[in-house]
A and B are shown apart, each in its own frame.
Chain A
Amino acid sequence: GAGVSQSPSNKVTEKGKDVELRCDPISGHTALYWYRQSLGQGLEFLIYFQGNSAPDKSGLPSDRFSAERTGGSVSTLTIQRTQQEDSAVYLCASSPSTGFSYNEQFFGPGTRLTVL
């Protein structure tokens, strides 16, 4: 079946602009995660959704970052007033369930964001 998809694959923007990144999880997966991968910081957790709610937003680096999920499926990560330090690859992952399950997370191809 189809894996996790993300769009766009690449995004170049100017400092100060807003960007929206999209994630389509694997059908039926209730849990959805956003991570960020950058040279300096490695792989960092940003936010976790269970259904449409976000019980863990602890990784969002500032109030410029927000995310939502609708219909228990598609999620968008929005970065307002982008800064150069926001440049990174943003990865989305989904898993069938959470709690005491395997919680094996399946990753999408990522969106490479470059802020000029």
Chain B
Amino acid sequence: ELKVEQNPLFLSMQEGKNYTIYCNYSTTSDRLYWYRQDPGKSLESLFVLLSNGAVKQEGRLMASLDTKARLSTLHITAAVHDLSATYFCAFRTGTASKLTFGTGTRLQVTL
């Protein structure tokens, strides 16, 4: 069974600072997704990572995938208040279609 550990669960950071969210998973996975969720809203797709060593960047967010370490990271550079949200990683493995989600990281960026 695929299990996903995401940490930290809660992150409070000041504007301008850098930080990384980590996702560890328990078995082979060939697709990694990052989603953002604002309070009371649905999930917004941020990144899809398909292979070992994949790195994608969008604005102040950069996601990477290390399939050998079974680890994905979401790095936040020079955080701004608009990035405050909950971030989820999710994995898909083999031919299964469902996504297995991490616990989510609630990010709060303070002035």
* A interface residues, Cβ below 8 angstroms from B: 31, 33, 35, 42-45, 48, 50, 55-56, 58-59, 91, 93, 98-100, 102-110
Inter-chain contact A42/B103, CB cutoff 8 Å: yes
A31: chain B residues within 8 A (beta carbon): 97
Inter-chain contact B88/A103, CB cutoff 8 Å: no
A33 to B92, CA, bound (A): 13
Question: Does B96 reach chain A (CB closer than 8 Å)?
Answer: yes
A33 and chain B: residue at smallest CB distance: B98
A105 to B33, CA, bound (A): 9
Give the dominant DSSP class at A's interface. Answer: strand
Number of interface residues of B (CB under 8 A): 23
* B interface residues, Cβ below 8 angstroms from A: 31, 33, 35, 41-45, 48, 50, 88, 90, 92, 95-104
Inter-chain contact A98/B31, CB cutoff 8 Å: no
Inter-chain contact B43/A102, CB cutoff 8 Å: no
